[in-house]
Amino acid sequence: MSEGPLAKSRSRVLIIEDHTLFAESLEVALSLEGYDVRRLPLPDEGGSLATLRSTALRTNPRIVLLDLDLGRFGDGAALIAPLSRAGANVVVVTSSVDRARWGGCVRSGARKVLSKSGPLQDTLATVRRLHQGLPVMSAEELEGLLSAWGADAVENQDKRRRLETLTPRERQVLAQLMDGHTVREIATTSVVSEATVRTQVKSILAKLEVSSQLAAVGLAHKAGWQSHGPGPRMDMPHMRHARTDPRS
């Protein structure tokens, strides 16, 4: 016997998504199926990921459709564990194609990860199965995602090991490259010659086993690295949006 709208209304679905049109599409489709659907407000100003977490938990959702890239609020993956611990069934709906990232979501407690490029019916079917208490992911899919996460974790551990070989000064230079500063800008603010900075960059590339500044920056970002050498990171607001010049 199928369940009517009244039964489904008891299954509150919360949408946490910063793309308005996509969120509205989900809301309309689920509402037509009889679910009690709510969208978590993402204010243009103020608030934080912690605020979103508190607000989401207060709604006491049974199912949460969560985007990973929440604009200025950062990585939505940080919401998976607290929502799962509170008893919500978290379904990640993302534009990311990084299987290791998907595996990290599952490891944090997500019941399913879906691609935004997939059919809307896939999301609706997942919500239906969760509402009915049915499994939404096979053992093979779970194992594959966790394996991807594990392999990525090992790779990142090796990246961090290489990053730890940098001297304090090299860490500062790499941090400035990550902020988008050129060799010339780093030399000027550090009151050293460009040749000195180029020598430091050359050493960084050798230790990280990469061939370009862009590759070094990408490696550091991928490993989630932040400079922890002595002294504060350089803050030059007028240069903050400058791009790293691979020829510098």
Query: Do 56 and 170 reside in the same domain of the chain?
Result: no
Same domain for 81 and 178: no
Among the candidates 117, 151, 185, a domain finishes at 151
| Domain final position from 125, 151, 177 | 151
Give yes or no: residues 108 and 141 share one domain. yes
Positive or negative torsion for Cα 123, 33, 83, 19: positive
Instruction: Count up the domains in the chain and report the number.
Output: 2
Q: With beta carbons less than 8 A apart as the criterion, state whether 217 and 244 touch.
A: yes
At 2, phi and psi to the nearest 5?
A: -80, 155
3-class DSSP string for 39-66: ECCCCCCCCCHHHHHHHHHHCCCCEEEE
Segments forming the whole domain that contains residue 215: 164-239
- Assess if residue 135 is contained within a domain: yes
Say which CATH number the domain at 177 has.
1.10.10.10
Q: Are residues 124 and 168 in the same domain?
A: no
What pLDDT does residue 242 have?
Answer: 38
With respect to residue 247, please indicate whether it lies within any of the assigned structural domains.
no
Could you tell me if 211 and 189 lie in one domain?
Answer: yes
Q: What angle do CA 98, 100, 103 make, to 5 degrees?
A: 115
113 DSSP β-pair partners: 92
Task: Clarify whether residues 13 and 51 are in a common domain.
Answer: yes
Q: What is the pLDDT of residue 23?
A: 94
**CATH number for position 147:** 3.40.50.2300
Q: What are phi and psi of 168, to 5 degrees?
A: -55, -40
Q: Are residues 197 and 126 in the same domain?
A: no
| Residue 157 included in any domain | no
User: pLDDT tens, 51-81?
Assistant: 999 999 999 999 999 999 998 898 999 999 9
Residue whose pair of structure tokens reads 């690295």 in the numeric block: 225
Of 59, 97, 51, 99, the closest CA to residue 78 belongs to: 51
Whole-model pTM? 0.68
Please identify every stretch of the chain with a pLDDT value under 50, giving residue numbers as ranges.
Answer: 1, 6, 229-248
Among 151, 180, 203, where does a domain finish? 151
Contact 13, 39 (CB under 8 A): no
> Cα 125–73–227 angle (5° rounding)?
125
Distance between CA atoms of residues 124 and 221, nearest Å? 35
What pLDDT does residue 148 have?
92
Both structure tokens of 191: 């009151």
Regarding whether 110 and 186 lie in a shared domain, the answer is no
What is the C-alpha separation between 25 and 56, in angstroms, rounded?
Answer: 20
| Same structural domain, 57 and 81 | yes
